[in-house]
Structure 1
Amino acid sequence: MNKHIGCTLTALLLSCVSALAQITGTVLDSKTKEPLMAATVVVEGSSEGVVTDLDGKFSLSTDQTSGTLVVSYISYVAQEISFSSNNLNIGEVKLELDAIGLEEVKVSASYVDQRKTPVAVSSITNEQITQRFSGLSVPDIVTSTPGIYTTQGAGGYGDQEIYIRGFDQTNVAFMINGIPVNDMENGRMYWSNFAGISEATREMQVQRGLGASKLAVSSIGGTVNMISQPAKKSKGGSFEYMNSNATWNNRLRFTINTGESDNGWAMTFQGSRTTTSPTLPGQPGGERGPIRPGAFVDAWSYYLAVSKQLNKRHQLFFYAFGAPFKRGSAWGLSERLKNTGDYSVTDNQFNYATGYYNGEFFNSRQNQVHKPQFSLSHHWDIDDATTLSTSAYISIAKVTSDNLRVTASEGANGYDVNKTTPAVRDAAIRTPDGYIDFDLLVQENLDASNTVTVLGPNGDFSADPFTGQRAENFIEARHNDHIWYGMISSLDKQVGNTDLKFGLDLRNYKGTHYVTAADLLGADFVTNTDRGEYDKFSDGNATEYDMNLLTSNEVIRTGDRFMYDYDGYINWGSVFAQAEHHFKKIDVFGTLSGTYSNYKRIGHFWNEEFVGSSLGKSADKTFLTYTAKAGVNYRITNRHKVFANAGSFTRPPFMRNSYQDARYSNNYVNGLKKERVYAVEAGYSFTSGFLKANINAYYTNWQDIARNLSDADDNDVQIEFDEYFSNVPGLRQVHKGIEIDFVWNVLTSLEVNGYVSIADYKTQVPESIPYVGVPPRAGEEIPVGNTAMRTGQLGLHYKGIKDMYVGARASYSGRLYMQTNPIDPYYAGEDIERLPDYTLFDIYLGRYFDISNDLRGRISANVNNVLDKEYIRWANRFFGPAYAYGFGRNYYLSVAIYF
């Protein structure tokens, strides 16, 4: 009996095994014939599925004797393939890109092949952006990669900042389709100017360290390249509404794809509208940001991609992107102001720039910006081994930033209330709950003591004297406009197993900078004079300077220019060459570039303080710099890879830092010279069909750094207009660390991902400094501030329920220090404050659903800082000090329809 049962069970097991069909095949790119690793293969209508291995191969077990396989891969058109018991080997499945010219754009955009190029790189797909980071901007998205720390800045719309391996945004190159977008004059990145770019991004690649950029960009920390959505092959589009309580409340987004016509044209357009909800009934008028009071936003964005296939060899691409907006800025929490004892502020999200004006809630720091960028690219396949890609672009910026200036003390007027106004004066102009009392500032302007008669107004002594109320308190508007032309061209040539690349990068830039009177707060005029600065003249005995001797006794009314008016010119040219040779298991590359930078300033005001150096054209300043990089990649097996790279480059100081005071003077600073950077890196990667893991170690040495030396010998660095930058011999930063990251597909439907970064960022202070002498921290090593040296993240992403996804992540930030100036005597003997470590939890989920045969929908929710943890993202010793608290619990809800 037992023997009979055993035989029966054995027969059943054998029959079960024999019933499981093994379907095999290989998934390839239809154009390049490259295998597509981690493509998804599922049996339609079931939960059976696998992902392809390194060679694009798959083997799927199923108990179905026939059916349909759905083969899909991000950015490609999915294919449905029938199978039966008579056809279990389906051979090669060639998927086509859904986006026209995506590979061509990548060629010209310094996009690297992670398998071959020996650099530390992470890529983020559009699907990940849509599902895991819905509604977030680029800085919040890239926190999913190791070695990166981001802040929300002061907390307003677009205020975020990115630090890569401890280097701030002036030391990171940001590009859209390979076109640089960092500010040409100061290297900064203003994310508010590019609001909406994350929604228009097809793929984002972060190269940490020196990277493999085709441009001669001097990025010490790394490169963030955003590949925008090209025109699609298929017709369709989407409509989406989002709601949030973070830096905005409502967003409407519309996308339309024409598809590719018979004559080779295709177009994709995306437009969005982002707003803050009005205040609730019963509250004062005006608008409030949902987290930071007064940080309202009224923004549009538009994106257009057009492609034209001229013939088999030639293709044209046109891109246009812009984001016009108006917003209320935020100002961080200053302990100096908070603890005056004259008023009480307990809300860590309080905005010190806000108050009440004529009964309305009002923000004195507002911005209006429109910075469109247009580019036209030509891709020419000269032959099967040679490609020439050329892009011409133009960027036009109109930027206005309002700022409140108030009387600081008797005889010393005209300070920025949010920065250098003495605490005693600041308390006097605020209500008991901490808001600015603008009505009080109006009353002060209308005081009889401010009734002033100006003889010879505007330099015309034949005119009658002008009598009116002179503004001691007013709102100024700072204008920073530019027009920027550029061309980037690269030639790619394959000679056997060697890839040769040659590039040319040309830029012509003009920045226009001036100040106008925006609101005189009840007064009639303000004179074009500098009436001293609190920090420079702490005894109150300020010297009064005429800001424009060309028009003396200038009477400034609303809209008139005053204080400063100048143009900055930059001519830039660079050449680039790279050779990459592929042996059987080894890839070797070397890069060399040279750059020409030329600066010039033209002043339109004749400043009394800078009589001999303010008006007219400055001398030209030219720098010749270089970049040299080399690396090797060794594929031990298809699964194991090790790499190493090293590089050295020089770079000029930014134009903004090259003049003793770029707003007023044509004089260059003493000791101005090139900075030097040296870097080495090594790494190991493991890749299989279900696990990808990387370990990277790096060391970067940045020398002869340009630092602010303004009046350092007088124990003062807080002077807003007398900045004095200079290269400091012996001053250097050393950044070193280890990064570990992984993506583990536990199941086809379950992904576990994470990273750990352990770093040490130090500023090494020299024993002596020219023009200053012996610094107070001579020979010391000071931690670099505002960037976490310990970060980690662990995430889960599950899509095992049909048409649904859900995920969570925990992010840790630690060993974070307050920012300070290590060479400034003002902070001598003070400890560098370490900020508390913190961990944040985020969750997200979404579901797709069918509406009709032609309509599909998606609903999603993302909740960040689920536990509503209070934490400090950054702190600055310069202003009080000031502490910027991160956002509490915030969410993004979305409903989308696809057609």
Structure 2
Amino acid sequence: MKRIYLAFVALLMTTFAFSQGTLTGTIVDGELGGPLPGASVMVKGTSTGTSTDFDGNFTLDVNQSSGTLVISYIGFVTKNVPFSTTGSLGTISLFPDAEELGEVVVVGTGIIDLAKDRKTPIAVSSVPVKIIQEKIGTQDVTMTLVNTPSVYVSGQSGGFGDTNMRVRGFDQDNTAFLLNGQPINGMEDGLMYWSNWSGLNDIASAVQIQRGLGSSKLAISSVGGTVNFVTKATEMNEGGFAYATVANNNYIKTSAGYNTGISEKGWGLSVMLSHWQGDGYNEGNFGEGQTYFISAGYRPNDTHGFNFLITGAPQFHDQNFTKSISSYLEYGRRYNNNWGTYKGQYLTERRNFYHKPVANLNWDWNISETASLSTVLYASWGNGGGTGNLGNRIRTAEGRIDYDAIYAQNAAVTNGDAVSFGSEPAYITRASMNLHNWYGLISNFEKELSDNLTWNVGFDLRTYYGKHFRVVSDFHGLNSWSENVRLRDQNNNHETYGTFGTYKRVTATESFRPSAWQAAFNSYPEDQKIAYSNDERISYGGLFTQLEYATDTFSTFFQGSISNQYHQRFDFYQYADQALIDGTSSQATGTPLPAGIEPGTDSEKVNNFGYNAKGGFSYSPTMQHSFYGNVGYYNRQPYHDNIYLNFTNQVNPLTENEKIFGLEAGYGFSSAIFSANVNLYRTSWKDRVVTSSDIVDDVVTFESNFGTEQLHTGVEVDFKLRPVDGLSINGFASIGDWVYKGDAVTQVTDENRNVISFETEDFDGGKVGGAAQTSGGLGFAYRINKMISVDSDWRYYADLYSDVGAIKENLKLPSFNILDAGVTFRMPLGADKTKQLKIRGNVNNALNTIYISRLTTARFVEPGDETYNGLNVSNQGYFGWGRTWNVTLRYDF
């Protein structure tokens, strides 16, 4: 009996032992790839459960050897995961629930081109909201992407919002930036001004960069890649947050948000407000701004969903420009000569100020189980500009602006009425204004033709009207400022009738404060504009389509688009008006134009047609391995600023479309603890033309620089490793070879295109500058316990050349390393632990590395020249930031 009892006890213990165990795993966003902190993990039919940590990891003790886990996260489709043994379940992906407004809703799902929209793999990196919130600190939103291959960010020392981001060596005007699927590059020049988007740090729910060809279906032709900023939308559950950030150089930021949740009738509202200000890392780099965000959602039924969103980030920031290395060595690496004091009070000569509200209305229509339509109507109203000097500037011995001396100089001007370059020296601060109204409509129809075949078709319409002029910002004690404007006729020629030609006198008596808020509501009389005043209209229409065939192991796709751009320029300043033509204007000085010559204020209308096509395939023989290849060709229209010559209405007769040809291939591996990607690329960019014109002895000539081909080739590697619970390691490396190919040709022709001269210069093999061609990084995040975690990122940059355009022998900058580190403390609050207090601290460039981030000249060392780290100190550029820090206290409820 005793033996039977002992055997029974042993059986119970064995059974009990085998039924006890631990399950582990990682929950990630199936679209963006980032972890989902706070996801619920429950054993089905029991009360046993846990939630994921900030890395999406979970550890759960279970008393059964098999069963089903129920994985849920607000806004995502709940997933049942069966288990038949304990141990690691690997990575579990959840996907957004398209049937409801999620906690963070991706509205316009057919418009926002995330990588999920195509099964063919691409070179892509995603940054979830957790990383944006924790690591951005006082930096521009561009800094969220520095830990990804082939991305280089420079120019931080210019001031808040003045960074420059390059992808695979291509500048910002050749990378497409999208906000919820809307193109936001400048329509005139393709450039990005990050100060206009300072609020993205607060409202972004994710950032995804698609390097190279990408998955965008729009009729856009980006060379470097596509960056998608996905903002928050109306949130499903009631709640909110508040946080405050303090940082080096007197930086402080406060922010608060609240969402009502979605009512039973389908309505919901989310709002967010923030304010920031700081002195800036460099001297004379003060900045201040706000961000507002309002999103209203409505889902009347399961078929239709609407979301209206408006956001803006009015700001001003004082700027620092490139200077010689010798100036930094003499006055310090934080030296800025754009500011001074008047009676002891700070004044700046260079202030950027802008307010660019963006509004959009999204409509998602689930037509049937196999068809859907997504449409977004958007608008943007930009108002602001940048200040600078006109007249006789006076500097102190340290090279800063001597405003006390300037006021004394202006006080000596007769009656306070100054004349530009007159006999009495004078000085004013002017503001170069850039105003615009931008409206657009994008729509995409998706149809599942079969279980394996999907078709998309849509259109992209945009219209833009911009205004550019100058006004007086500060008279500094003067009463007025007058200029003589030399006029042109309708043929863009300066009139030379009489001894002094034909002029008009412009006199400004009003000043306009450089304020982002005031710029949005100010009116600017035409008679108060100085230096120039011109408008432009740019209209754009594109059609795009995509066809994709996909099975479990193979997929292939084709995308194509056509587009047309319409341009016209309107000049109100430098062309003769009717009064001058008739010789009756009281403003006329010099000789009036002869009668009979018509005014020429409106330029010729220009239309340009473009197209692109791309296709590719993928093959996944197993769940762990995948291969892909893509090819694309772009025939891209020139930007508006390249169409009209020398800031006049004169049309460039030699402008032609640019040609871009791209090839990509890649391999991906994924397992429960390790994933990695390898990408190869080759991008050729041809037919870049920059043209200027001149008039010599009444003969019009055109000088065109036919740029050499830019050929960018390279390899990229990135990986993620989760060797043990609580530890994640990630890394990347990119090696590029970005060079100019062939000859550069300078051709001079007359207006009939007869060649006057033709010179060829060899630039073959010259290095493309502005971005590090070799880079790498390694980072980790470690959860010490449930409340404390630490992380760090190290980056290395090499083969960085001066940003000087096509050149045979470019100047190579010294390589450098950057180390960032951070710590996070979390404390759940409330009886149900649904509230949270979080403290986050960052130290960027923790080792205080001294490095040059960018040079804009390429002056080599000659015998007797002073040098710094092997560089001629006469070179102009920026040093990078030294050690900086920030601490954030956040409360979520």
TM over 0.5: yes
Partner of 1:872: 852
The alpha carbon displacement at 1:742 in A equals: 0.6
The alpha carbon displacement at 1:333 in A equals: 2.5
The alpha carbon displacement at 1:143 in A equals: 1.0
Q: Of residues 319, 327, 335 in structure 2, which corresponds to 1:329? A: 319
CA distance, structure 2, for counterparts of residue 802 and residue 153 of structure 1:
35
The alpha carbon displacement at 1:820 in A equals: 1.3
Partner of 1:4: none
The alpha carbon displacement at 1:115 in A equals: 8.0
The alpha carbon displacement at 1:47 in A equals: 12
Pairing 1:797–2:800 present: no
The alpha carbon displacement at 1:584 in A equals: 3.8
Q: 1:868 to 1:503 in 2, by over 3 A?
A: same
CA distance, structure 1, for counterparts of residue 531 and residue 133 of structure 2:
46
Pairing 1:836–2:821 present: no
What amino acid is aligned across from residue 352 of structure 1 in structure 2? N
Q: 1:449 to 1:810 in 2, by over 3 A?
A: same
Q: Of residues 228, 234, 237 in structure 2, which corresponds to 1:234? A: 237
1:588-667 correspondence to structure 2 within 5 Å: 588-607=556-575, 615-662=600-647, 665-667=648-650
Q: Of residues 438, 446, 450 in structure 2, which corresponds to 1:484? A: 438
The alpha carbon displacement at 1:526 in A equals: 2.5
The alpha carbon displacement at 1:12 in A equals: 13
CA distance, structure 2, for counterparts of residue 708 and residue 512 of structure 1:
23
SS class of match (1:402): strand
What amino acid is aligned across from residue 356 of structure 2 in structure 1? K
2:137–2:842 contact (8 Å) kept in structure 1:
yes
SS class of match (2:646): coil
1:297-376 correspondence to structure 2 within 5 Å: 297-335=287-325, 338=327, 345-376=330-361
Pairing 1:498–2:488 present: no
The alpha carbon displacement at 1:94 in A equals: 8.4
Q: 1:640 to 1:898 in 2, by over 3 A?
A: same
Pairing 1:707–2:707 present: no
What amino acid is aligned across from residue 378 of structure 1 in structure 2? W
The alpha carbon displacement at 1:821 in A equals: 3.5
The alpha carbon displacement at 1:43 in A equals: 8.2
1:297-696 correspondence to structure 2 within 5 Å: 297-335=287-325, 338=327, 345-407=330-392, 429-447=394-412, 472-496=426-450, 497-529=452-484, 552-559=504-511, 560-607=528-575, 615-662=600-647, 665-696=648-679
CA distance, structure 2, for counterparts of residue 172 and residue 183 of structure 1:
11
SS class of match (2:142): helix
2:453–2:550 contact (8 Å) kept in structure 1:
yes
The alpha carbon displacement at 1:628 in A equals: 0.4
CA distance, structure 1, for counterparts of residue 95 and residue 653 of structure 2:
60
2:768–2:805 contact (8 Å) kept in structure 1:
no
Q: Of residues 125, 148, 158 in structure 2, which corresponds to 1:155? A: 158
More divergent stretch after superposition (516-525 vs 375-384): 516-525
Render the CA deviation track for 1:457-499: whole Å, top value 9, x for unaligned.
9xxxxxxxxxx99664221111100001100000011111111
More divergent stretch after superposition (150-159 vs 38-47): 38-47
Q: 1:710 to 1:431 in 2, by over 3 A?
A: farther
CA distance, structure 1, for counterparts of residue 26 and residue 821 of structure 2:
35
CA distance, structure 2, for counterparts of residue 590 and residue 82 of structure 1:
37
SS class of match (1:578): strand
Q: 1:754 to 1:614 in 2, by over 3 A?
A: farther
Q: 1:530 to 1:353 in 2, by over 3 A?
A: farther
The alpha carbon displacement at 1:59 in A equals: 11
The alpha carbon displacement at 1:512 in A equals: 0.5
Compute the RMSD of aligned alpha carbons. 4.4
SS class of match (1:645): strand
The alpha carbon displacement at 1:310 in A equals: 1.7
What amino acid is aligned across from residue 672 of structure 1 in structure 2? T
2:360–2:377 contact (8 Å) kept in structure 1:
yes
CA distance, structure 1, for counterparts of residue 667 and residue 194 of structure 2:
33
More divergent stretch after superposition (445-454 vs 128-137): 445-454
The alpha carbon displacement at 1:180 in A equals: 1.0
Q: Across the two proteins, how many residue pairs are aligned to each other?
A: 805
CA distance, structure 2, for counterparts of residue 597 and residue 686 of structure 1:
42
1:744–1:751 contact (8 Å) kept in structure 2:
yes
The alpha carbon displacement at 1:228 in A equals: 0.7
CA distance, structure 1, for counterparts of residue 388 and residue 158 of structure 2:
17
Q: 1:869 to 1:78 in 2, by over 3 A?
A: farther
The alpha carbon displacement at 1:161 in A equals: 1.4
Pairing 1:221–2:224 present: yes
Pairing 1:121–2:86 present: no
2:811–2:858 contact (8 Å) kept in structure 1:
no
More divergent stretch after superposition (316-325 vs 601-610): 601-610
What amino acid is aligned across from residue 745 of structure 2 in structure 1? S
CA distance, structure 2, for counterparts of residue 742 and residue 109 of structure 1:
26
CA distance, structure 2, for counterparts of residue 165 and residue 323 of structure 1:
29
Pairing 1:817–2:782 present: no
The alpha carbon displacement at 1:558 in A equals: 3.4
More divergent stretch after superposition (345-354 vs 774-783): 774-783
Q: Of residues 843, 860, 865 in structure 1, which corresponds to 2:840? A: 860
Partner of 2:889: 895
CA distance, structure 2, for counterparts of residue 451 and residue 161 of structure 1:
41
Q: TM-score, normalised by structure 1?
A: 0.81
Partner of 2:867: none
CA distance, structure 1, for counterparts of residue 186 and residue 207 of structure 2:
20
SS class of match (1:783): coil
Q: 1:738 to 1:65 in 2, by over 3 A?
A: closer
Partner of 1:731: 708
SS class of match (1:656): helix
Q: Of residues 845, 851, 856 in structure 1, which corresponds to 2:823? A: 845
Q: 1:433 to 1:805 in 2, by over 3 A?
A: same
1:132-211 correspondence to structure 2 within 5 Å: 132-211=135-214
Pairing 1:784–2:784 present: no
What amino acid is aligned across from residue 232 of structure 1 in structure 2? E
What amino acid is aligned across from residue 582 of structure 1 in structure 2? A
Q: Of residues 697, 719, 723 in structure 1, which corresponds to 2:680? A: 697
CA distance, structure 1, for counterparts of residue 400 and residue 168 of structure 2:
38
Q: Of residues 730, 753, 767 in structure 1, which corresponds to 2:730? A: 753
What amino acid is aligned across from residue 730 of structure 2 in structure 1? N
SS class of match (1:113): helix
CA distance, structure 1, for counterparts of residue 149 and residue 74 of structure 2:
22
Render the CA deviation track for 1:31-79: whole Å, top value 9, x for unaligned.
x9x999999776899999999xxxx999976568999978466964999
SS class of match (2:505): coil
2:463–2:540 contact (8 Å) kept in structure 1:
yes
Structure 2: 5+ residue stretches without partners: 1-6, 488-493, 512-527, 577-589, 750-756, 860-873
Render the CA deviation track for 1:358-395: whole Å, top value 9, x for unaligned.
33222111122110000001110110110011110110
Q: TM-score, normalised by structure 2?
A: 0.81
The alpha carbon displacement at 1:651 in A equals: 1.2
CA distance, structure 1, for counterparts of residue 34 and residue 707 of structure 2:
50
Render the CA deviation track for 1:264-317: whole Å, top value 9, x for unaligned.
0112111110012xxxxxxxxxxxx24111211120101112110021111101
Partner of 2:586: none
1:817–1:832 contact (8 Å) kept in structure 2:
yes
The alpha carbon displacement at 1:434 in A equals: 2.3
